[in-house]
């Protein structure tokens, strides 16, 4: 697709802005019907959508079919959520004219949409985190029009999805401008984020790009929230009891999680931490064997593949890193570093997007705790443990709870459930706003603000107070 011109971008923003007032006030059932029509529309696109995405992203058919199911599933999840108004955290304090020292007013607090939201498509999820993805679904559910910037690496997939959304909007008689799409690079994104008609930003991508958007939004005359989900190395801690009891299955599970989707998940476990002993040695050997058997697949796009190859080369040349599995092209790589050296070099905490892991070998349990304490913000942190590890696990868990948004016991961080209890978001730099999630029903809360009505008669209150 050719890039949108400034006047095309302006026109999309004007339409979104005009749609906002009417769209934000539709009953939940009407917005729900729209979301469900989008889900059906994505399904009706059938095999051609999957084939297009396969061609543009190098992702496989099974993965993409699963991703479409997830995408339609979360659209329907939000549709179900907004059929009831419970999600608004409605709070009512009834008035009392006889209260002393002065009458108590009637106060009713609810949530209203922020206004048009700019959504940035991600490269690694052409459906679930792109044009029809979680940010779009949650913003539309909240009552906010969406202006989406398609990710340049899968334009045709984005076009198909955008058309399905626009058709669903027509079918369900949504106001014109409730959804719009623009095409372009960083300048297009910056134009959206700086525009006064945009009231919030949803983004999934790199730390560099996410931080740039955050800084732009913060420098506006009227700053707006930015929900950027960025990098994370999703550390996995292996306690001694767990390694002693389940070394094989942990090694297999770790290798599978590290290489799932060519390591192109934001929950990819790029760091694994253990205390040096025989089981740990065996874990490293087994993991290396698994990884060396995994063939490299094509990555999402040439620029990501190049970044990965360069990153692996840099790690191979890093004086503190020992090469356990040497990746070439997009094949998996594994490196080892001592706890002390990991603690001394902050750059080893930087995410390398792709199937490359760093095994941090600690000299002691205390050093393992120190590694936990030295981590920056993470989407997830995982601990493998057995009952014999419990006291040490509790101590480590307390540290990791200050670092991550989701803590995983005896599992792996890839595979993110989409439901009411998911938290996908953690302290900076994992995201720009740890107070929110980009997955699950709570994601709707990113795009609303509270408002209180004092002493209004029933006929002037929003219908959802149920009067």
Q: Which residues bind a copy of itself (CB under 8 A)?
A: 21, 25, 89, 91-93, 102, 104-105, 107-109, 112, 114-115, 214-215, 218-219, 222-223, 225, 376-377, 390, 393-394, 397-398, 401-402, 404-411, 415, 417, 419-423, 425, 427-429, 432-437, 442, 448-457, 459-460
Rank residues 203 and 335 by Cβ distance to a copy of itself and give the closer one: 203
Place of tokens 């603690």: 343
In terms of C-beta distances under 8 Å and separation of at least 24 residues, what long-range contacts does 89-94 make, across chains too?
89/450, 90/464, 90/465, 92/465
Rank residues 210 and 354 by Cβ distance to a copy of itself and give the closer one: 210
* DSSP bridge partners of 334: 325, 357
Rank residues 61 and 419 by Cβ distance to a copy of itself and give the closer one: 419
Rank residues 215 and 366 by Cβ distance to a copy of itself and give the closer one: 215
Pull the structure tokens for residue 135. Answer: 């940010």
Following DSSP, what letter does each residue of 10-72 receive, concatenated?
A: HHHHHHHHHHHHHHHHS-HHHHHHHHHHHHHHHHHTHHHHHHHHHHHH---HHHHHHHHHHHH
CA atoms within 13 A on the CB side of 79: 16
Rank residues 184 and 429 by Cβ distance to a copy of itself and give the closer one: 429
Smallest separation, CB 380 to a copy of itself (Å): 8
Active site residue 222: no
Nearest to 331 by CA among 293, 289, 277, 378: 293
Nearest to 355 by CA among 270, 249, 248: 270
CA–CA gap between residue 62 and residue 55 (Å, rounded)? 14
Identify the active-site residue in 56, 67, 85, 229. Answer: 229
Smallest separation, CB 239 to a copy of itself (Å): 12
The dihedral built from the CA positions of residue 129, 131, 132 and 135, taken in this order, carries a sign that is positive
CA–CA gap between residue 269 and residue 360 (Å, rounded)? 12
Active site residue 459: no
Rank residues 316 and 455 by Cβ distance to a copy of itself and give the closer one: 455
∠ Cα 115 119 122 (to 5°) = 165
Residues identified as active-site: 229, 266
């Amino acid at each position: 697709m050719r890039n949108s011109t400034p006047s095309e971008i302006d026109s999309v923003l004007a339409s979104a802005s005009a749609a906002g007032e009417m769209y934000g006030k539709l009953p939940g059932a009407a917005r729900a019907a729209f979301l469900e029509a989008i889900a059906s529309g994505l399904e009706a696109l059938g095999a051609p959508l999957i084939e297009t995405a396969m061609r543009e992203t190098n992702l496989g058919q099974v993965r993409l079919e699963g991703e479409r199911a997830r995408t339609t599933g979360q659209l329907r999840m939000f549709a179900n959520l907004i059929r009831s108004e419970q999600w608004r955290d409605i709070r009512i304090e009834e008035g009392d004219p006889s209260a002393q020292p002065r009458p108590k007013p009637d106060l009713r607090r609810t949530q209203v949409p922020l206004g048009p939201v700019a959504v940035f498509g991600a490269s690694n999820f052409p459906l679930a985190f792109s044009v029809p993805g979680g940010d779009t679904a949650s913003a539309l559910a909240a009552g906010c029009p969406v202006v989406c910037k398609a990710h340049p690496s899968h334009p045709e997939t984005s076009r198909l999805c955008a058309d399905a959304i626009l058709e669903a909007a027509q079918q369900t008689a949504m106001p014109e401008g409730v959804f719009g799409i623009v095409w372009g690079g960083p300048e297009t994104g910056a134009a959206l984020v700086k525009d006064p008609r945009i009231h919030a930003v949803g983004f999934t991508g790199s730390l560099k790009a996410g931080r740039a958007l955050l800084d732009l939004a913060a420098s506006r005359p009227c700053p707006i929230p930015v929900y950027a989900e960025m990098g994370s190395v999703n550390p996995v801690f292996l306690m001694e009891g767990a390694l002693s009891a389940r070394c094989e299955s942990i090694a297999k599970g770790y290798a599978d999680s590290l290489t799932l989707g060519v390591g192109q998940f934001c929950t990819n476990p790029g760091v694994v931490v253990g205390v040096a002993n025989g089981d740990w040695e065996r874990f490293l050997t087994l993991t290396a064997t698994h990884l060396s058997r995994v063939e490299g697949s094509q990555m999402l796009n040439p620029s990501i593949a190049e970044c990965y190859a360069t990153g692996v080369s840099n790690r191979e040349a890093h004086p503190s890193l020992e090469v356990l599995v040497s990746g070439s092209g997009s094949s998996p790589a594994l490196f080892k570093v001592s706890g002390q050296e990991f603690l001394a070099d902050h750059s080893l905490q930087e995410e390398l997007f792709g199937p490359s892991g760093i095994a941090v070998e600690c000299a002691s349990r205390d050093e393992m705790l120190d590694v936990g304490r030295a981590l920056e913000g993470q989407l997830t942190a995982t601990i493998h443990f057995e009952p014999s590890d419990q006291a040490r696990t509790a101590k480590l868990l307390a540290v990791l709870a200050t670092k991550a948004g989701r803590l995983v016991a005896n599992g792996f961080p890839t595979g993110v459930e989409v439901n009411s209890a998911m938290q996908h978001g953690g302290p900076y730099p994992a995201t720009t706003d740890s107070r929110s999630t980009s997955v699950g029903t709570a994601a709707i809360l990113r795009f609303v603000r509270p408002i209180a009505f004092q002493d209004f008669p029933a006929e002037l209150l929003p219908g959802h107070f149920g009067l």
